[in-house]
Chains A and B, each alone.
Chain A
Amino acid sequence: MKEQNCVKIEFPSRSVNEGFARAAAAAFASQLDMTLTELGDLKTAVSEAVTNCIVHAYPDRLGPITMKLRILEPDTIEVQIKDRGRGIEDVERAREPLFTTGGEERSGMGFTIMESFTDTVKVRSRVGSGTTVTMRKKVSRRAATR
């Protein structure tokens, strides 16, 4: 898929940045003529992925989170959220609904929501090195080519 535009943002794993990340993603995505529902889906998926970094990748310390957004031909937005935290031991299990190591404050629905709200979710993880989540979502309409 041909890349039309991209942006890369790095921020520390402070929970206040959950809101910043989804607002930044929505601002970048505004150049696509997305519906409000699609925009809400994108923000939700970003919020889930960034929260996973904050809660699970860096449970005891602050660390860097990189968010890369790409607009791809045709009419697709890609979001990549990357951390350099502790990694996921069993990715398949982590993706199961209701599985969580986050205690009563977490629902275990993060990956389920990401999968429901985007078209594809790829997870690459290495214990001790970090995790990269890449999501793609095709949008239904598009503004005139810029």
Chain B
Amino acid sequence: MGSESVKVSTTQSGGRLTFHIAGELDHHGAGALMGRIEERIEALTPRDCVLDMRELTFMDSSGIAVIMRAYRRMNALGGRLFVENVQSQPLRVLDASGIDRMVNISTST
């Protein structure tokens, strides 16, 4: 994904599409990441979509916009979105935003 400090790879198992997001997610890399997530969701129409944040070390509010966009796309498909393995700094941002009222969020195991 060019010079962005956020990296993403995908895996699919059954109806579950997982995006493994690593590095630092800010406005600089958010646009390309959103595009990649939307493109894969639309191409594969998964039942469940997972944003795996185990290797995401930093996130600002740009990450909230990414999650919201993925949530809307999955909602439109009648599917579900899960945000998993969230590390401590991204979790503080998610907690401050109140997004956990809409999206299933779990911390690192």
Which residues of A are in contact with B by a Cβ distance under 8 Å? 15-16, 18-19, 22, 36-37, 40-41, 43-44, 47-48, 51, 54-55, 104-107, 109-110, 112-113, 116-117
Contact = CB atoms under 8 A, between A and B. Distances in A.
Contacts of A112: 61, 96-97
B88 A37 contact: yes
B28 A18 contact: yes
Contacts, number: 75
Contact of A54 (B27, B61, B93): B27
B96 to A, nearest CB: 4
Nearest to B58: A43
Contacts of B89: 37, 40, 43-44
Interface of B: 3, 5, 24, 26-28, 30-31, 34, 58, 60-62, 64-65, 68-69, 88-89, 92-93, 96-97
Provide the main secondary structure of the chain B interface: helix
Contacts of B31: 105
Nearest to B69: A104
A47 B30 CA distance: 13
14 contacts: A18-B28, A19-B5, A19-B28, A40-B58, A51-B62, A105-B34, A106-B27, A106-B61, A106-B62, A106-B65, A107-B64, A107-B68, A113-B61, A113-B96
